Structure 1
C-alpha cells in the first residue's frame, strides 16, 4: 500500500546564502536517515528538553524558537532544499548550536531514528491541507500519525499543531479527539489561543490583515 508522506516535493532555486548553508552547515548540523536510531543526548552533547518539528519551511520560526530557548534542543525536518539551506545558514549566522536537521520524510525519521518516549514536544505548523476532498487521504494528520507521535512523546509531552484552514482544523480535532492516550489542553475541548512560544510568521500576519483565522491545537500524551 502507498504510504502517506509528510511532504510534497517542490522545486526551487538556491540563493547564495542557502547554498552556503547546505555546503558549510550540513556537516555541522545535518543528520542522515540512513544512520538509524540516534542517541540525541550524544548528538547535542547534553540532556535537555527536546522538540521535533515536521516541515519547518524556510526555517524562520525554528530559528526564532531555538534562539529564544537556548536551554532546549530542536530537531527540524524539511525536504525543501532552499528551506534547509536557509535554516542552516541562519544557524551559522546566529551561532546557534541547539538545532539538528534532517532533509527527508519526517515520518520515517520518527519511525527509524527517534526513540520511543523521548520527545517533549512535536510541532506541526501549517501542513498542506489538501483542500480537495479526494486528496484528504493525503493529509498527514490521520489516526496512524497520532499513534506514531504518541509513541515518540514522553508521557506529558505535547503535540502542537496549527493551521489556517478551518476544515483542516476540524479534521485535526476529530482525529485527535478519537486518538487514545491523549488529553486536549484546550479549556473548551477544542482549540487553544495562539501560544506565545509559537512565532507569528509573515504569512500569518498577512492572513490576519485579510481576516483569515489560525487554529492552534495542543494534545498532551496522557498514557
Structure 2
C-alpha cells in the first residue's frame, strides 16, 4: 500500500481554490450554529479526532469530501438518521448553506469540517474507522495539462481505503467520461478495495439528484457511479 505520508502530490487538493462570499443567511447560521456543528481543520488538536464525542453518540460515520452547497448531504442525512454524516468543504458559503438545511430540517446527525479533507484523513482519522466515504462530482480539471491536479489518484485512494473499516464503502460519481475511466482504473488497482459491480454501478436511487447533476444531463454528459468495498484482511 502507498505510504499515507506520501499522499500529498504537488498541486493536488481536495478542492479548487475560489473566493465565495456568504449571504446574510449563511453568515447568520454560521454565527449561531458553527460552534456546535463545525470544526476548522487548522484548530483541531494534533492526533486522532474522537468522532463519537463530536457527534455525541456512537454510530456509523460517513465522510463526504467536497460537499459543495450541501444539497445532497442534507437529503442523505435526513434519509438516514441512524448514520453520522460528516461533510468536508473548504468554502464557508457551502458550509453555511448546509447549516441552513440542518437548521430547517432539525438534523442532529450532521457535522461540518472546514478544511482540506486530505490532511484531515491523514492526520485526524484513525485507520479502519469510517463506514463510508463519498466523493460526488469532484473538480474534473478537464484540460489535459491539468489532469495531474485531480483528486482521485492512487495515493489518495490508498489513504481513503486505509481509513475505511473492513466492509466500508467508497462511492464516487462524476460526469466527465475520462475522469470516470481514471477513477475506475485507480480504484480497481487498489488492493484494499473491490468493485461491487462488474464495472459501473447503477445510479443509486438514494443518491439525490442535485442541480449540478441536472445541469450535466442537460449539457449531454453521462454521470457514472462507482461503488467499492474495503476487503476484510485474511485471518480475520
TM over 0.5: yes
State the TM-score, normalized to the length of structure 2.
0.89
- Which residue pairs with 2:119 in the alignment? 108
Contact 1:25 1:89 in 2 (8 A): no
Q: Does 1:88 align with 2:88?
A: no
CA distance in 2: counterparts of 1:16 and 1:44, whole angstroms: 27
Contact 1:21 1:87 in 2 (8 A): no
CA distance in 2: counterparts of 1:35 and 1:101, whole angstroms: 16
- Which residue pairs with 1:27 in the alignment? 35
State the TM-score, normalized to the length of structure 1.
0.94
- Which residue pairs with 2:83 in the alignment? 72
Gaps of 5+ in 2: 1-8
Match of 1:118 among 121, 124, 129: 129
- Which residue pairs with 2:166 in the alignment? 155
1:22 CA drift (Å): 1.4
Tell me, what secondary structure is at the counterpart of 1:101?
strand
Q: Deviations over 1:66-87 (max 9, x none)?
A: 1111111011100111101111
Runs of 4+ with deviation above 6 angstroms: none
Structural mapping, 1:195-210, within 5 Å: 195-210=204-219
Tell me, what secondary structure is at the counterpart of 1:130?
coil
Contact 1:20 1:89 in 2 (8 A): no
Query: Please, which moves more after superposition, 120-129 or 14-23?
Result: 14-23
Tell me, what secondary structure is at the counterpart of 2:25?
helix
CA distance in 2: counterparts of 1:210 and 1:106, whole angstroms: 29
Match of 1:7 among 7, 12, 15: 15
- Paired residue total: 221
